[in-house]
Chains A and B, each alone.
Chain A
Amino acid sequence: DGGITQSPKYLFRKEGQNVTLSCEQNLNHDAMYWYRQDPGQGLRLIYYSQIVNDFQKGDIAEGYSVSREKKESFPLTVTSAQKNPTAFYLCASSIGDSWYQETQYFGPGTRLLVL
């Protein structure tokens, strides 16, 4: 089955610690995205990548970093500079062709909590 997987489902971070959230897709999509969702709010874009080895900052990139070394993978690192990391993190992917409908397909999410 094609889809997007995220791991872990729950992640606990200690003060000053960097943590990495995994996102893998087997949909052969070019574009991948990371969103943050806070309770009772919509999604905010952290980073996105249209092709391998290239990525752009979204609206709330401070305190986060990403890499895109493989088409299938787009890991997100929450650094110690992110002072309020507690949130639900969603990874998404899309075909990436600007002339097609750009429906984004979402993974199951990772819930990050601070100890």
Chain B
Amino acid sequence: ELKVEQNPLFLSMQEGKNYTIYCNYSTTSDRLYWYRQDPGKSLESLFVLLSNGAVKQEGRLMASLDTKARLSTLHITAAVHDLSATYFCAVDIRAGGTSYGKLTFGQGTILTVHP
């Protein structure tokens, strides 16, 4: 059974600081997704990481994937209040290149950025 674990689960940051959210998963996969969820809202796709060593950046967020370590990171640079949300990673189980379309989600990291 695939397990996806995020840490920390709660993150309180000061504006202007840097921090990293970690996503570990338990079985082989080369596709990992990061989503953002605002309170009471749906999920918004942030990044799709498709291979070992993939790095993607958008604004103050940068995501990377190390498939050998089964680890993805979401790095936040110079945090601002607008980044306050819950961040989820999700892993796609694949076998021989065929996607079954089944995503397994981490528990989510609740990020609060305060002045």
Contacts and interface: CB of A to CB of B under 8 A. Distances in A.
Interface string B99-115: 10111111110000000
B99 A102 contact: yes
Contact of A94 (B50, B101, B105): B101
Contacts of A112: none
Q: How large is the interface on A (under 10, 10 to 19, 20 to 34, 35 or more residues)?
A: 20 to 34
B25 interface: no
Contacts of B31: 101-102
Nearest to B47: A103
Interface stretch (B13-21, B38-46, B60-68, B75-83): B38-46
A63 interface: no
Contacts of A106: 35, 42-44
Interface of A: 31, 33, 40-45, 48, 50, 58, 90, 92, 94, 96, 98-99, 101-109
Interface residues of B, number: 25
Contacts of A41: 107-108
Contacts of A98: 97-99
Contacts of B90: 43
Contact of B33 (A58, A90, A103, A109): A103
Nearest to B33: A103
Contact of B45 (A58, A103, A107, A109): A103
B88 A42 contact: yes
A40 B110 CA distance: 9
Given A90-B43, A108-B41, A102 B105 contact: no
Q: Of residues A50, A96, A101, which shows the largest number of chain B Cβ atoms within 10 Å of its Cβ? A: A101
A42 B43 CA distance: 11
B43 to A, nearest CB: 4
A11 to B, nearest CB: 15
A98 B104 CA distance: 17
Nearest to A91: B42
A25 to B, nearest CB: 13
A40 B50 CA distance: 28
Interface string B1-18: 000100000000000000
Contacts of A108: 41-42
